[in-house]
Amino acid sequence: MISSFLAHSRSSHLKAQGSSEGKPSSPSEGTQGTKPPSDTWNNRHAVLYFTSPDLPDFYETVHTQRDSKTLRWIVGRHHAKIEWVAEPTYVDHVNAGAVLVDPGQEMVPVDIVAANSGHDRDMDWNCHNFVYEGLQELVRRGYQTQEWYDFVENEMMDKLLDGTVD
């Protein structure tokens, strides 16, 4: 069993934490050599964080960011425990529940989400679409139900919009 966890953080704060060499100063900053996305709603960045109650050392984060020089989307992956709620840029999260997999197949749902490509996308495509499409692919492949996806999508949208709409 894999539990998935969605975390949101304000990318404007991530940019301020970056080092001058273009390397991440913290896990939340993202993929090496890229800047945090600036085209997300109210500077909110979304990631998928996978853990497993059966494997105490299993921690995987998957997200995407646009490279500011090439404007290409780059998938970022972190293979370590990250206390997202302790990050100074943390805003909120949605507990996406569990994705059941056979023992030894824990990376399959992570790899499915990470395979989602941002190539040849409209300019308004962003990290939120990446997460939504990755979760929808898990449904398409039978790892979860459409009802699960609808619930997670609605919860995520509520979190993204919370505090941004008067």
Cβ proximity of 8 and 46 under 8 Å: yes
Examine residue 166 and state whether it is found in any structural domain, yes or no.
no
pLDDT, one tens digit per residue, over 72-86 is 888 999 999 988 888
Q: Does the model's pTM come out above 0.85? A: no
**Coil, helix or strand at residue 109:** helix
**Owning domain of residue 102:** 2-161
How many structural domains are present in the chain?
1
Task: Give residue-wise pLDDT tens across range 92-145.
Answer: 888 888 888 999 999 999 999 999 887 888 878 888 899 999 999 999 999 999
pLDDT of residue 33: 40
Interval 36-50 mean pLDDT:
66
Pairwise CA distance, residues 31 & 35, whole Å: 8
Match 């984060």 to its residue by tokens. Answer: 61
